[in-house]
Structure 1
Amino acid sequence: MAELTGMGDLSGGRRECGSSSAANAPNPGARLRSFDSDRHRITCFVTGTHRGQFADQELRHRHRARCEDRIRCAKDTGVRNLPLHDFAANQLWLEVVVLVADLTTWAQMLAFKDHPARCWEPKRLRLRVFLTAAAMGRLQVLPAP
C-alpha cells in the first residue's frame, strides 16, 4: 500500500484530494487485467477525505462498490422497469423482486459454497442453474396412473 498524495499533480482538482494505491493478490478464479503486474491487482483511488488509515478508506470504497453491484443486480432482476400502472401493484412487484434477491443470495451462500456460481450475476444464474433445473423438471416422465 502506498499513499500517492504528494507524488502527482492534483492541482486541477479540489485541494483536499488525496490518492492511494495498493497491489493485492486477486481472488481465486479472478481474471487478471492487462495492466496488472506480477500477478497482483493494482488498485488506485482518489478520495476527498483524509480521515482514517488507508485500509479504512479502501474498505469504505469496496463497500460502496459492493452496494453499487447489488443495485445493478436488482435492476437486472426487475427494478429497472416497473411493469404495472398502479402504485400498490408496483409496490408488490418490488416486494417480490426483493424476495427473489434474498433467495438468490441465500442460495449462493449455502448451495454454492465452494463453486464459482457463488459470484455469478443473476442473469448467469438464471441461464445456467435455474433454467437447467426447470428443463430437467419438464423432461421428467410421469408414471401412468
Structure 2
Amino acid sequence: MVKLRPGTAGSNTARDHITVVDASIAAVPWPYRRNLLITTDGAGATHDFIDHLHDLARRRGHRLEYSIGGELGEREQNAIRLQPEDAWQHVIDADGKARDLDAAGVVELTGLLRRSVGGDRLAGWPADMRVICRRERPGSGAQLSLLEEADGWRYGLFVINTPGRQLDFLEARHRVHARVEDRIRNGKSTGLGRLPSTSMQVNAAWCVAAAIATDLLCRLRLLCLTGTMAHAEPKTLRYRLLHTAVRLVRGRRKRKLKIPQTWPWADDLLACFTFALALAPPG
C-alpha cells in the first residue's frame, strides 16, 4: 500500500500505521488472514497502534501476532543493567548457527519491568506484551547511548505478543523485518523516488502505477526467475531483461519472439518466458 499525504502531514503516526495495517490485511485473500504476523520498526511502538493490534488479535477464529521495534528508554536501560550476564542467550545467524555470546545475545526484560522494585513499569500496556532485548558489538561510526558506550554493546528492543517460543527464534523472526529497507529502495527505483507533478491527483495515480510495477517485479522474481536473477534489483532487471531488444515475428499462424543470441542474458530471458508460459492460467 502506498499512502500519499500532504507535505504538512505528520510522519509515522499511529493513525498511519493503523490505516496501512487494516488496508494490508484487507488485501490478503480471506483464507490467509487467519494466521498473520505484523512487524514494524520503532515508529510503531505506540499505545494506540499496539492496542489496535490486540483488538485484531482478539477476533474469533483469527491468530495475529506482532513484533514491534521498541525504544531504549531509561526504564529499559535500568532493566538491562540488572540482567545477570548468564541470562543472555545465543542469537542465531542467517545460516541457523548460534553466534558466540561475545558477539551477540538476546534476553527477555518483561519480568524485570513487570515485577521489579518500583512496581509495574509496563502498566497501561497490554498484559500479554513481552519485551525482548538484543545486543551486539557496534560497528565503527555507530551512534551509541551512554549505556552502550560504557558497556561496549549496541542494544535493540522489540515487543511481541507471542507466548512461549525460544528467544533465539523470536529474535531471528524480528530481524527479518530489515528486508523492508530493500523493498523501500526497490520502490524508489521503480518510480516512488520522484513524483512527476505538483498535482496531488496526478501524483496519486503515479504512486498507484509504481506500486503495481513493484508488485509485478516481486511476482516476476518469485515465479519466473532463478539464481542471482531472482534477487536482482529493479535496475538490473530493467537492463538485463525488460529492455532487451527482441523481435516479434509472425508466420504460419504463430507468433515468435526472436531473442538476440549475442545478448549476454539471453538464456535468462528465455528461461523467464519458459517459466511464465508454464504457469497455470488465473482462476
Are 1:93 and 2:202 an aligned pair?
Answer: no
Aligned with residue 222 of structure 2, among 109, 114, 135: 109
Deviations 1:10-64 (A, max 9, x none): xxx93445785334439xxxxxxxxxxxxx8x695532248661211221121x2
Aligned with residue 234 of structure 2, among 115, 122, 141: 122
Identity over aligned residues, as a percent? 23
Q: Distance in 2 between matches of 1:20 and 1:123?
A: 38
Specify the structure having the higher radius of gyration (Cα).
Answer: 2
Q: 1:100 to 1:15 in 2, by over 3 A?
A: same
Q: Distance in 1 between matches of 2:199 and 2:90?
A: 48
Question: Structure 2 matches for 1:31-110, cutoff 5 A?
Answer: 44=104, 46=135, 47-49=156-158, 53-62=167-176, 64-110=177-223
Q: 1:118 to 1:56 in 2, by over 3 A?
A: same
Greater relative contact order (CA < 8 Å, ≥ 6 in sequence): 1
Question: Per residue, is there more strand in 1 or in 2?
Answer: 2
Q: Which runs of 5+ in 2 are unaligned?
A: 1-75, 81-87, 105-133, 136-155, 252-283
Partner amino acid for 2:157? G
Q: Which runs of 5+ in 1 are unaligned?
A: 1-12, 27-39
Q: Distance in 2 between matches of 1:83 and 1:126?
A: 20
The CA RMSD measured in Å over matched residues stands at 3.2
Deviations 1:45-85 (A, max 9, x none): 532248661211221121x2111211111011111111111
TM-score by length of 2: 0.34
Equivalent position of 2:112 in the other structure: none
Q: 1:90 to 1:23 in 2, by over 3 A?
A: closer
Q: Secondary structure at the match of 1:22?
A: coil
Number of equivalences: 112
8 Å Cα contact 1:83-1:90 kept in structure 2: yes
How far apart are 1:118 and its partner, in Å?
A: 0.8
Equivalent position of 1:25 in the other structure: 95
Partner amino acid for 2:218? T
Q: Distance in 1 between matches of 2:241 and 2:194?
A: 24
Equivalent position of 1:6 in the other structure: none
Q: 1:128 to 1:16 in 2, by over 3 A?
A: farther
